[in-house]
Chain A
């Protein structure tokens, strides 16, 4: 799969649940429809919980990439 180009990045590394999710929601609310937001998090719980929120909120989860020390979660705002 080709690398996804993010429009904005939310760096929530070092923050535990629910910090990454709350940072992501705040960012998603502030950007235009179609914007691709990249969330960086090392929190395993967030890796599993963020997709649940994304689906319920009606946005699109493009991919979750394991970067070793952390995950990059790509979300496209609907």
Chain B
């Protein structure tokens, strides 16, 4: 096993945060991680969603956003910080973007590139796959 390939297919903030935490800490610990953001999971990465903190989520997401005494680093900040230090690649799904008519410019600056299924499978070949 030489790292993790994570498929993030949910826009639920709790899942997005959990993926960014695991991916960020793993890569900062020198474990290669590829994150493939697909389907509705692209929504929370849109610039306007992040600007307005407009996320889907449940009890933990609510507690996270309302917390006053502590600040939980948002997934975008975690990924940005981790990408500077460790072997972390984050890709946006071409298919979902085509369907929604979005471009990389519509998203916060955490993506290395867009990617299709074959590209993801190639990068995942030697890795443990985590589907969220």
Tell whether A16 pairs with B85 under 8 Å between CB atoms, given A25-B28, A57-B29: no
- In the complex, the answer to whether A14 meets B24 with C-beta atoms within 8 Å is no
Is A75 interfacial (CB 8 A cutoff)? no
List of A residues within 8 angstroms of B72 by Cβ: 15-17, 19
List of A residues within 8 angstroms of B78 by Cβ: 18, 22
Complex formed: what's the CA distance from A14 to B70 in Å?
A: 5
- In the complex, the answer to whether B25 meets A18 with C-beta atoms within 8 Å is yes
The number of chain B residues with a CB under 8 A from chain A is: 15
Is B73 interfacial (CB 8 A cutoff)? yes
Tell whether A22 pairs with B28 under 8 Å between CB atoms, given A17-B21, A29-B85: yes
Q: Which residue of A lies closest to B67 (CB)?
A: A16
- In the complex, the answer to whether B25 meets A22 with C-beta atoms within 8 Å is yes
Is B42 interfacial (CB 8 A cutoff)? no
- In the complex, the answer to whether A25 meets B70 with C-beta atoms within 8 Å is no
Of B21, B24, B73, which is in contact with the most chain A CB atoms at under 10 Å from its CB? Answer: B73
Q: Which residue of A lies closest to B70 (CB)?
A: A16
The number of chain A residues with a CB under 8 A from chain B is: 16
Complex formed: what's the CA distance from A15 to B67 in Å?
A: 11
Is B2 interfacial (CB 8 A cutoff)? no
List of A residues within 8 angstroms of B25 by Cβ: 18, 21-22, 25, 53
Q: Least Cβ distance of A47 to chain B in Å?
A: 13
List of A residues within 8 angstroms of B71 by Cβ: 14-16, 19
- In the complex, the answer to whether A43 meets B70 with C-beta atoms within 8 Å is yes
Is B81 interfacial (CB 8 A cutoff)? yes
Is B82 interfacial (CB 8 A cutoff)? yes
Q: Which residues of A line the B interface, CB within 8 A? A: 14-19, 21-22, 25-26, 29, 42-43, 53, 56-57
Q: Which residues of B line the A interface, CB within 8 A? A: 21, 24-25, 28-29, 67, 69-73, 78, 81-82, 85
Closest 5 CB pairs of A and B: A16-B70, A16-B72, A25-B28, A19-B73, A18-B21
